[in-house]
Chains A and B, each alone.
Chain A
Amino acid sequence: METLVCKNITKSYEKGKKALDRLSFSVPAKGILAVIGRNGAGKTTLMRILATELMPSSGTATMNGIDVVKDAVKMREMIAVLPQESRAVNWMTPLQTILSYLMYRGMDYSEAREKAHEALAGIGMTKLEKTLNSKLSGGQKRKVLVASILASDAPIIFVDEPTTGLDPISRSELWDMLKRLKKTHFVFLTTHYLEEAEKLADTICIIDEGKLKGIGTLGEIRKLVKYQYSIKILEKGKKVKINEGEEVTGEDGFAQIMTTEKEADRLSSRFIKEKVRFSINPMSLEDIFYYVVKKPINAEEEAKDYGTWF
């Protein structure tokens, strides 16, 4: 079976700061693996190591049996990468962008041109193939880059926060592309949009401060948490006595209770009776992330100094 295996991957920078700290896991190399974490958690560092762009300080990783540290040349035949904050080069057109990338991968001009045409047709951008990238929208530019790596025929795709900064429609279009892609490729996706991971991923990996906090299917990740339900009380400052579970106060000032099915049933009955406004949902990935990492996904490092959440 094709797998991605990381053994004690560590990456240290100057002053001893560890971006990754003895990261070890093994997952099937199929579908989408979404690596989630806050800014600076180590997602991009992990991706760049696996994509042979960055050497780890120690540890090894193999993908489908190929050692990404020692056998980078072989690995590069198998992978295509969409880096974080990558942009389609302004002075090229979408056709030229895809064509030149495919030639870098070794294809000859005519084959690359044919594939580029097909790729643009696949994303519905044939009419824009000769428009300068500088004149395209942010979403269109990103689609051109995704189409480039799709056209490469590489079986393993790395995409680093591909939807950051995109409008909801462009984001949805890109999600559709990734959904199609995962049927035939292994996609390594990093994101800090938990909704994205929840919608797309077959396997989810939670990283915080360079350490692995959990990995598995969404079902398996749910088991990291002993609670199944999340109740939000839509009245600020409302105090609730709970028998089982944990209560937190979100940035919006509303109290949120993570609890068991039985306690959720009891509390919701009580709130209905007392006419307390509330919402109840199964634990989302965001709730689970908070429970595991003890910080919300969008919390900045600086927030620790001021204690904005608690």
Chain B
Amino acid sequence: MGRGSNQLIASILVNAIYAMQGYPTWIVNNLLSPISIIILVTFISKGALIGEAIAGALITLFVGTGIMLQADLAHLKNDFKYQDMIVSSPTSAMTYMVGMALSNVIFIIPSLVVILVLAVIYIHASILAFVEVFMVLLLLYLFSVVLGFFLSTFTSDVMQSWSFTGILSLLMTTIAPVYYPITYIPLPYRYAFYLSPTTYAAEIIQNMLGYLPLSTMALALDWIVIIGLSIALFVVAIKKNKWREY
């Protein structure tokens, strides 16, 4: 394998494999958060919304781990001075960031497997629909990773990072209508939930799985918002990137 691959694997080892080995309770924590809401929504809806809830759990997993990346980066940079050791090594900023982003996907694999098993059992959709759902999830993950990078440039303390993570996770995956269709929210209040990008992603996914009918125009708008926000945040994050400080 090439040098770049070794550097990517190093990030995956540090921030995923070794983290899971060292503190396995994180795996349980990752799984419990979305599972608890699946249970809640399923029982309250008497089973009617189990499909939507499982789809929402997938959104939570990908968005949650993406946002968590900013806390991971801040923790390694500020508490362990680990990033300083890497800055002065042959690893480039891009390789480190891509490696860290990949590490957080690896970190959710155990939870992903459990939720995918539930999805196969309870969501009756075509394979093509599942593929499309994963494309949306991937885009949503990229958005949340970029958001994480962007926020990590503002934080210098891990306590502050954790508070950002908590607030954003709540706003984007618990309060936003990702575990149920937005049509359950009364109309005057519904517009407020469109402030969260996950609302657009949930609409796309729920539409693909047959839970939420949407016009072509509404669907196109959802895609434009998600892609547009991701690109805008990516540009800002690149500009504010502090690998070698000035």
Chain A residues with a Cβ under 8 A of chain B: 48, 51-55, 72-73, 76-77, 79-93, 96, 99-101, 103-109, 112, 132, 134, 145, 148-149, 152, 158
- Among A52, A76, A79, A96, contact of B18 (Cβ-Cβ < 8 Å): A96
Counting CB contacts under 8 A, is B124 at the interface?
Answer: no
A53 touches B245 (CB 8 A): yes
B89 touches A80 (CB 8 A): yes
A81 touches B6 (CB 8 A): no
- Among B10, B88, B92, B244, contact of A103 (Cβ-Cβ < 8 Å): B10
- Report the number of A-B residue pairs with Cβ-Cβ less than 8 Å: 107
Q: Mark B1-37, 1 if CB is under 8 A from A, else 0.
A: 1010011011101100011011100000000000000
A87 touches B80 (CB 8 A): yes
Q: Find residues 74-105 in chain B having any chain A CB closer than 8 Å to their own CB.
A: 76, 79-82, 84-92, 96
- Among B13, B81, B92, contact of A100 (Cβ-Cβ < 8 Å): B13
B9 touches A53 (CB 8 A): no
Q: How far is the CA of A108 from the CA of B13 in the complex (A)?
A: 13
B10 touches A104 (CB 8 A): yes
- Among A72, A89, A100, A103, contact of B80 (Cβ-Cβ < 8 Å): A89
The residues of A that contact B80 with a CB separation of less than 8 Å are: 86-90
- Among A81, A91, A103, A112, contact of B85 (Cβ-Cβ < 8 Å): A81
B89 touches A76 (CB 8 A): yes
Q: How far is the CA of A117 from the CA of B24 in the complex (A)?
A: 25
The residues of B that contact A105 with a CB separation of less than 8 Å are: 89-91
A53-B245, A100-B18 known; A83+B7 contact, CB < 8 A: no
B89 touches A89 (CB 8 A): no
Q: Number of contacting residues on B, CB 8 A?
A: 32
Q: How far is the CA of A100 from the CA of B10 in the complex (A)?
A: 5
The residues of B that contact A52 with a CB separation of less than 8 Å are: 87-88, 244
B7 touches A103 (CB 8 A): yes
The residues of A that contact B21 with a CB separation of less than 8 Å are: 91
A124 to chain B, nearest CB (A): 23
The residues of B that contact A103 with a CB separation of less than 8 Å are: 6-7, 9-10, 13
B244 touches A106 (CB 8 A): no
B90 touches A91 (CB 8 A): no
What are 10 A-B interface contacts by the 8 Å CB criterion? A52-B88, A76-B89, A86-B85, A87-B79, A92-B18, A96-B14, A100-B10, A101-B10, A103-B13, A105-B89
Chain B CB within 10 Å, residue with most, of A52, A90, A91: A91
B94 to chain A, nearest CB (A): 12
A44 to chain B, nearest CB (A): 11
A89 touches B88 (CB 8 A): no
The residues of A that contact B96 with a CB separation of less than 8 Å are: 104
Query: Which residue from chain A places its CB closest to the CB of B17 in the assembled complex?
Result: A96
Chain A CB within 10 Å, residue with most, of B18, B76, B79, B91: B18
The residues of B that contact A82 with a CB separation of less than 8 Å are: 85
Chain A CB within 10 Å, residue with most, of B79, B81, B245, B246: B81
A108 to chain B, nearest CB (A): 5
Give me 7 other A-B pairs in contact (C-beta within 8 A), A48-B245, A80-B85, A101-B85 excluded.
Answer: A80-B88, A86-B85, A91-B23, A92-B14, A103-B10, A104-B10, A109-B6
A104 touches B88 (CB 8 A): no
Query: Which residue from chain A places its CB closest to the CB of B99 in the assembled complex?
Result: A104
The residues of B that contact A85 with a CB separation of less than 8 Å are: 81
B88 touches A53 (CB 8 A): yes
Q: How far is the CA of A73 from the CA of B91 in the complex (A)?
A: 9
The residues of B that contact A90 with a CB separation of less than 8 Å are: 22, 80
Q: Mark B182-201, 1 if CB is under 8 A from A, else 0.
A: 00000000000000000000
A104 touches B22 (CB 8 A): no
The residues of B that contact A158 with a CB separation of less than 8 Å are: 88
A86-B81, A91-B19 known; A104+B86 contact, CB < 8 A: yes
The residues of A that contact B10 with a CB separation of less than 8 Å are: 100-101, 103-104
A106 touches B7 (CB 8 A): yes
Q: How far is the CA of A289 from the CA of B86 in the complex (A)?
A: 34
Q: How far is the CA of A90 from the CA of B18 in the complex (A)?
A: 10
Chain A CB within 10 Å, residue with most, of B9, B79, B89, B244: B89
B102 to chain A, nearest CB (A): 14
A155 to chain B, nearest CB (A): 14
Q: How far is the CA of A300 from the CA of B115 in the complex (A)?
A: 57
B78 to chain A, nearest CB (A): 10
Q: How far is the CA of A88 from the CA of B82 in the complex (A)?
A: 8
The residues of A that contact B85 with a CB separation of less than 8 Å are: 80-83, 86, 101, 145, 148-149
